[in-house]
Every structure is written in structure tokens, then in C-alpha cells.
Amino acid sequence: MRFFLYIFFLTFLVLPCMAVPVVNFENATLAQVITNQYQASHGVTFSSTDDTLAIWKYGNSTADHHYGGPNGDNTTTDHSSGHPSVGTYFLGTAQCSGRQNFTITYSALVSQAFGNILDLEGTETANFYAYGINNNLLASFTKTGGANGSVQSWSFTRSTADIAYVKIDASWVALDNISGSDPAVLSASNTNFGNVRVGTSSTATVTVTNTGSSGSTLTGSIGSASGAEFSPTTGAENFSLGSNQSFNRTYTYAPSSRGNDSTNVSVTSNAGSSSRTLTGTGVSPVFSSSIAVGSTIDFGEVGYIANQTLRVQNLTPDANLGNLTDMTLLSATITGPDASYFTIENFTPGMKLSKSELQDLSIKFMHNYSGREDYGYVRNATLNITTDVGADFGSQGASYAFNLQAVTIPEPGCVYLLGVFLSLMLIFKKRISF
């Protein structure tokens, strides 16, 4: 004679310092295969070495006092409208025949497991076994059948939480209102790198913690980052954490420009999955000059000496963050075919400009007019200013170039003396002719 084995766990079984979640399958559908769907929410999984475990439904046949299975199997019960301890949906083996077994595995060790058996009749038996985490048998007992429609209780009670799973062996297995365990609980942090100078990098971690109860185990992985500013961009790191244990994965943020950056990192686990955010802000000094970079500083026509001023300023729009936004003028060099005619003043290598600070650089052109061949001669050179923009503070970064140009002509005093000399020569020549 076929029978039903129903296990009815209290909806809220209160253990010391924790409440046990209960699976009632009322959110399931007929014929749905059940394995680990309730692991994250209820801390329990279901399995059988004999058959697939699937959802049955009360009243699935033409008569309300029948139970219908996923394969169209039907079997009777002694209650025309169902038993009050059994919901509409429950778990059983897919085939309603022969002796079957199933295993309830807890995500966390438990000290108590109990429930009810419905319609264990006559000489039928059901064997119960409680096992520890090392597959060691902790306790066992056998229940024999009672009168039709009778309800029997079963339970395991231990002095410590050491029950890892329970096995039940009976003629056919059906479960409802199954207690689980306090499952592992995933807690993962978002990570903010804060302000990072462009051209440098900073490291920070995403932390995953199992905040579940004692005996729970959180397993899963932390994925890679995406985007040019964050790394690593490939691979995942796995973790297995006991209660209150944590795992860190380190990421690097290397901003390539000013502004806010963010990316998502996926965290998957047996307690569910989530996405965590990596954020950071790139900050930097900003080089500004009174004459556009790459243009010409034109001295015009120079008889002997001339000066031009180049104003350099740090115009970062970021806050004044010290070394994160300070600009260092590392060097100022003049090169080119006529570099010897130009010099720079008011410059000291390594001078620092904080936010909005400026420095006026004096550039001098000087020549000695040596004759007609120097008249209208164009002198050219290049001024290069090297800074730490786009690099660590004080390290070589961006360089900015300016063209220098001047046209040599006689000094005004020389022109005046030459005019006087020519006038005297003309007067002297006229006197001789008389």
C-alpha cells in the first residue's frame, strides 16, 4: 500500500539566539524540480539518490482526495479535503513507487530537527538518520505506521549545533513546511578610492563577509573590474568563509584624466549574488600660460636687448589638495640654432605652484650688431617647460613648448653715430672740393 510521508516543521522554530526559516513550497509550481532553490533564503538543499525531487500538488486529480504528481501519478489519502498540516504544494520523488530516500542538507549546523509524518500506516516504516559535518552518524531512529490518517512526530535534539544533514528512508517521500537553518549571509562593500592624482594609481579592496550564524559557510567568487581606469579586468577570485570571516580582493584605480570614474564588480555566492561599485576621482594640476602653448613669443625687431614675460599658472578646477593638485615646474630649457641669444630669468628648477598660484618668467633676447650681415636676421629658438602634470608629484610629466623669435637690427645709438659720421664725411668732402 502506498503512503505519504509529510514532514511538518513549526513555522518559526526558535533556537537559542536565532529563528529558523521554513520552506512550505507554496511559491512553487507543479512538477518543478527542486534542488538548491532554497539555499540562499532558507539555508537548506534537497536531494535524493533514488529519483528526482519535484513538486506535487493536492487535488491535481479528478477527485479532491487525490494527490497528483509531476508524471501524472495519483495516490489516495484518507482526508477528502486534505490534512491541515499539509499545504497545496509539497515535495516528493518524481515516481510514486518503491522505497525512496531523500536528504535535507543544512547550510549551517543545527542542534534541532523535527517535524510530523502524515499517514504512515500499518506495518510501514520510515528510518531517520542525523549526520555530522564529517559524515559521522550522530543519531537515528525508526518510526512505524499508525492508524490511517494519524500524525506522528519525529525529532532530533542535540546539546550542540552539530547536525549537518538528515536522511529519511521510506516507501515514498513527501515533504512540506521544511525547516532550514540560518543560512550564510553575504555582506559585501562598495569601494571608493577617493581622490587620486592623474598619472598615479591607488589600491583598495572589496570585502566580502559571511555575517550568517555559527556553522554557516559562504562560498562564491568576486569578479573582475571593467573600464580602462580599473584593474584587474579579467579573472575571478574564489572564497569560502565561515561565520564572521571575511575575504578581500584588491583592485587598482589609475585615472587617465580628471573627473569621476566608476565600474561594477559582481559578487556571486551560495547566499545570492550582488553587484558592488568601485568609484574614484581623478584630480590633477592644470598648466596654463599667458601665451598659448605651441605658439610664438615674438620679440619683434631688436637692436640690442629685449624682454618678454611668460606667465605660468596652475588653474586646476579641483580643490586645493596639496600634492594631489600642486604643479611642479621641473625645468625650463632653451634649445635650437639661436638658443645662445635667449635666456630665462625668475625661474628655479623644482618651483611649486599650488591651486591658482602663478609665476612670471622673464625671457631675454640680446645680441651685438656686427654689421650689415646681421641686419634683419631672424633668430629662432624653442623654450621647453617640463612639469609633473600627468605624473606623480615631483616626477617628470608633461612638457610645454613655445617658439622664440627675434629680428636683429642695429642698436638705435649705433644708427645715430653712423648718421653723424656720414654727415661729417659729407661736409669734409664738400670743403675739399672747394
pLDDT per position as a tens digit, 180-189? 777 778 889 8
Instruction: Count the residues in the chain.
Output: 434
Kindly state the cell numbers that stand for 72.
Answer: 501524472
Q: Where are the domains of the chain?
A: 13-179, 186-283, 287-414
Sign of the CA dihedral running 414, 415, 418, 424: negative
Query: Which listed CATH number (3.30.450, 3.30.530, 2.60.120, 3.40.720) goes with 13-179?
Result: 2.60.120
In three-state secondary structure terms, 414 is: helix
User: What's the first-to-final CA gap in the chain, in angstroms?
Assistant: 160
- Mean pLDDT for the chain overall: 82
Answer for the pair 325, 355: CB distance below 8 angstroms, yes or no: yes
Which tens digits make up the pLDDT trace of 344-400? 999 999 999 999 999 999 999 998 766 666 678 999 999 999 999 999 999 999 999
Which percentage of the chain shows pLDDT scores above 70?
79
Position with higher pLDDT, 174 vs 18: 174
Which of 15-19, 202-206, 385-389 has the lowest average pLDDT?
Answer: 15-19
Tell me yes or no: is domain 287-414 CATH 1.10.3720.10. no
Position with higher pLDDT, 283 vs 18: 283
Nearest to 303 by CA among 421, 418, 419, 414: 414
Where does 78-222 show beta strands of DSSP type E? 89-93, 100-110, 112-118, 125-131, 137-144, 151-157, 163-170, 174-175, 178-179, 186-188, 191-197, 202-210, 217-222
Distance CA 236, CA 208 (A): 13
Residue 174 Rama label (left phi>0; alpha psi -120 to 50; beta): beta
Position with higher pLDDT, 14 vs 362: 362
Q: How confident is the model at residue 80 (pLDDT cuts 50, 70, 90)?
A: very low
Decide if pLDDT at 334 tops 70: yes
Amino acid at 250: T
CATH no., domain 186-283: 2.60.40.10
Give the bridge partners for 101, in sequence order.
169
Answer for the pair 228, 256: CB distance below 8 angstroms, yes or no: yes
Give the bridge partners for 359, in sequence order.
312
Which tens digits make up the pLDDT trace of 410-420? 866 554 444 55
Decide if pLDDT at 64 tops 90: no
- Dihedral (C-alpha) 158, 46, 39, 138: value to the nearest 10 degrees? 20
Q: pTM (2 decimals)?
A: 0.67
Nearest to 4 by CA among 174, 181, 213, 132: 174
Distance CA 11, CA 345 (A): 86
Work out the average pLDDT over 96-100: 73
Which percentage of the chain shows pLDDT scores above 90?
47
Whether 186-283 shares its CATH topology with 287-414 is answered yes
Residue 184 pLDDT: 77
* Cα distances (Å, whole numbers) of residue 111 to 116, 156, 165, 174, 197: 18, 8, 11, 23, 55
Answer for the pair 245, 207: CB distance below 8 angstroms, yes or no: no
